[in-house]
């Protein structure tokens, strides 16, 4: 245990964020870091609970009490080893995970959970800085080959573990650089892309072969793929965005969030994007539709591009500020979340549905919206508009961030003849095996869009299944 009385002596202290005026003029990470002493004090607050609800809440089963203790004692090496034993990429989750662990932390009963996420990233960054994280290729090779398709967090995790188990892994990526949504979906001000490069480099040094700009079906045929690898693992994500089929959807200036975010991420990383292809928020009234994390990222990016105003609307009701009695600890708290981007200046509205987009010269200039109500009908909530609440708001850039529906089906999934679930995700058995014998799938591709940490967890699970499959083969 760190310090039995730590939580009584030390208050929760966040590292905090850079000042708004400073951070909104660049794309560097918003969140700051504590010095090592303060970090250790934060770790001392961990009580080593008889039941670590945090671990229960953590999708990758992080051994949180264990590494908090090591962190407290300054044993960074032991801490990173423990962290790596359950999580391949703490540098990602430590930055962008919504931290279900902290929702479940026993100290969250009093709403002052241990800073688990920040502690996590502190450990991994210190470990990199101190050189504790070094390539350690497997001592023996199994002689088996695996192709992992899609280099998002699930694919990276699967590739990493399978490689560590001694198999020869090739990680295919359709885009120019690996990382998937980590790279193209999440803005740099939340996740510096250097961290992805650093990790990929490490994996390559350990023997993973990373092939970018490789689209299956275009650059290599499905048949080729299946026959040249002992196993194939699909971690292609759920990239099909949910659309908003209202009048005016086809106007210029109405974009999916990913188009906007991906483009900005490329620019930050130095990739040239022709000016006329650019989606620019500068001096525009930006309307972000969808109240989730992606929407929030659109808000932050728009602000950095110096939008004139940013409005975010959400069709669901405003979540409560505090937990309600039917959402008690230690469950994930369905409460209002205010991201750093929200703090930077935007209007947020709830119970709002979009009726139509109005255009001028084929370009959107405003949106008609109205308020809705939610009613419990036969056990599920149904929405209905509130008459007389319709209004028109100015909007000359509309970003649709209402989530993703399922994997992109045309191409790979169809070509392989994979069975799909009702929600059109790739259907797998409990061993993550698809209907094609040596083809496995994991991550958002089988569940629909979810958290990065869930993708890593799924990637780890599929790796074990593939490993067992190869061991028995």
**By C-beta, is 329 or 350 nearer to other proteins?**
329
| Residue 303 binds other proteins (CB under 8 A) | no
| Residue 7 binds other proteins (CB under 8 A) | yes
- C-beta of residue 471 within 8 angstroms of C-beta of residue 445: no
> What is the nearest approach in angstroms of other proteins to the Cβ of residue 378?
17
Sign, Cα dihedral of 49, 50, 56, 62: positive
Between CA 335 and CA 320 the distance in angstroms is 5
Choose the binding region for other proteins from 30-38, 56-64, 95-103, 168-176 (rule: CB under 8 A): 56-64
Between CA 444 and CA 447 the distance in angstroms is 5
> What is the nearest approach in angstroms of other proteins to the Cβ of residue 464?
5
Interacting residue with other proteins among 53, 67, 89, 184 (CB under 8 A): 53
CA angle 55, 59, 63 (to 5 degrees): 35
Interacting residue with other proteins among 14, 26, 56, 221 (CB under 8 A): 56
| Residue 211 binds other proteins (CB under 8 A) | no
Interacting residue with other proteins among 15, 49, 355, 420 (CB under 8 A): 49
Interacting residue with other proteins among 48, 230, 343, 415 (CB under 8 A): 48
**By C-beta, is 214 or 463 nearer to other proteins?**
463
| Residue 330, preceding peptide bond in cis (omega within 30° of 0) | yes
**By C-beta, is 38 or 81 nearer to other proteins?**
81
Return the closest-CA partner of residue 246 out of 365, 355, 329.
355
- C-beta of residue 452 within 8 angstroms of C-beta of residue 97: yes
H helices, E strands: number in the chain = 19, 16
Strands (E), 281-437: 285-289, 309-313, 347-349, 352-360, 363-377, 380-385, 391-394, 397-400, 404-406
Residue 276 DSSP one-character state: G
Between CA 448 and CA 12 the distance in angstroms is 34
| Residue 230 binds other proteins (CB under 8 A) | no
Interacting residue with other proteins among 330, 359, 443, 459 (CB under 8 A): 330
H/E stretch holding 149 = strand 145-149
Between CA 160 and CA 378 the distance in angstroms is 46
Mask: binding to other proteins, 452-471, rule CB under 8 A, as x and -? -----------xx--x----
Choose the binding region for other proteins from 60-68, 204-212, 337-345, 446-454 (rule: CB under 8 A): 60-68
**By C-beta, is 157 or 307 nearer to other proteins?**
157
Between CA 121 and CA 43 the distance in angstroms is 12
| Binders in 108-147 for other proteins, by CB under 8 A | 109-110, 138
| Residue 175 binds other proteins (CB under 8 A) | no
> What is the nearest approach in angstroms of other proteins to the Cβ of residue 51?
4
**By C-beta, is 303 or 463 nearer to other proteins?**
463
| Binders in 144-163 for other proteins, by CB under 8 A | 161
| Residue 52 binds other proteins (CB under 8 A) | yes
Cα dihedral 100, 102, 104, 107 in deg (nearest 10) = -170
Residue 408 DSSP one-character state: -
**Could you tell me how many residues make up the chain?**
473
| Residue 81 binds other proteins (CB under 8 A) | no
Interacting residue with other proteins among 24, 55, 68, 458 (CB under 8 A): 55
CB contact burial 54-78 (16+ within 10 A = b; e otherwise): bbebbbbebbbbbbbbbbbeeebeb
| Residue 335 binds other proteins (CB under 8 A) | no
Interacting residue with other proteins among 227, 325, 361, 378 (CB under 8 A): 325
Rounded to a whole number of angstroms, the distance between the first and last alpha carbons of the chain is 44
Please report, as ranges, the residues that interact with other proteins according to CB under 8 A: 4-5, 7-8, 47-53, 55-58, 61, 63, 65-66, 75, 104, 106-107, 109-110, 138, 161, 164-166, 325-326, 328-331, 463-464, 467
């Amino acid at each position: 245990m760190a310090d039995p009385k730590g939580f009584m002596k030390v208050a929760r202290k966040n590292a905090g964020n850079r000042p708004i005026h400073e951070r909104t003029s660049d794309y560097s990470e918003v969140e700051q870091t504590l010095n090592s002493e303060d970090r250790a004090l934060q770790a001392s607050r961990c009580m080593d609970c008889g039941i670590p609800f945090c671990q229960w809440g953590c999708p990758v089963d992080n051994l949180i009490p264990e590494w908090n203790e090591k962190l407290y004692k300054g044993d960074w090496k032991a801490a990173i080893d423990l962290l790596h034993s359950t999580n391949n990429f703490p540098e990602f989750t430590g930055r962008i995970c919504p931290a279900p662990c902290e929702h479940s932390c026993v100290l969250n009963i009093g709403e002052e959970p241990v800073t688990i996420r920040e502690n996590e990233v502190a450990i991994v960054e210190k470990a990199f800085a101190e050189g504790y994280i070094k390539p350690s290729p497997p001592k023996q090779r199994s002689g088996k080959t695996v192709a992992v398709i899609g280099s998002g967090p699930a694919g990276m995790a699967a590739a990493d573990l399978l490689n560590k188990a001694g198999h020869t892994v090739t990680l295919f990526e359709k885009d120019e650089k690996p990382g998937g949504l980590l790279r193209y979906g999440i803005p740099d001000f939340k996740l510096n892309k250097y961290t992805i490069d650093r990790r990929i480099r490490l994996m390559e040094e350990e023997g993973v072969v990373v092939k970018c700009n490789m689209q299956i079906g275009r650059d290599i045929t499905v048949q080729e793929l299946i026959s040249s690898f002992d196993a194939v693992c699909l971690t292609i994500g759920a990239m099909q965005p949910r659309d908003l089929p209202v009048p005016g959807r086809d106007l210029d200036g109405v974009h999916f969030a990913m188009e906007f975010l991906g483009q900005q991420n490329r620019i930050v990383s130095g990739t040239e994007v022709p000016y006329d292809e650019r989606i620019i928020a500068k001096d525009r009234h930006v309307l972000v539709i969808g109240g989730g994390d992606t929407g929030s990222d659109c808000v932050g990016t728009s602000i950095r591009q110096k939008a004139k105003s940013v409005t975010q609307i959400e069709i669901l009701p405003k979540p409560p500020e505090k937990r309600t009695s039917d959402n008690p600890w230690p469950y994930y708290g369905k409460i209002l979340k205010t991201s750093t981007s929200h703090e930077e200046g935007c209007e947020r509205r709830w119970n709002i549905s979009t009726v139509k987009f109005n255009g001028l010269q084929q370009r959107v200039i405003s949106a008609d919206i109205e308020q809705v109500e939610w009613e419990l009908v036969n056990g599920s909530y149904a929405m209905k508009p509130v008459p007389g609440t319709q209004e028109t708001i100015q909007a000359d850039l509309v970003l649709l961030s209402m989530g993703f529906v399922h994997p992109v089906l045309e191409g790979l999934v169809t070509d392989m003849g994979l069975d799909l679930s009702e929600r059109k995700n790739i259907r797998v058995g409990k061993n993550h095996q698809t209907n094609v014998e040596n083809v496995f799938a994991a991550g958002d591709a089988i569940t629909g869009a979810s958290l990065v940490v869930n993708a890593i967890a799924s990637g780890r699970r599929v790796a074990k299944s593939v490993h067992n499959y190869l061991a028995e083969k």
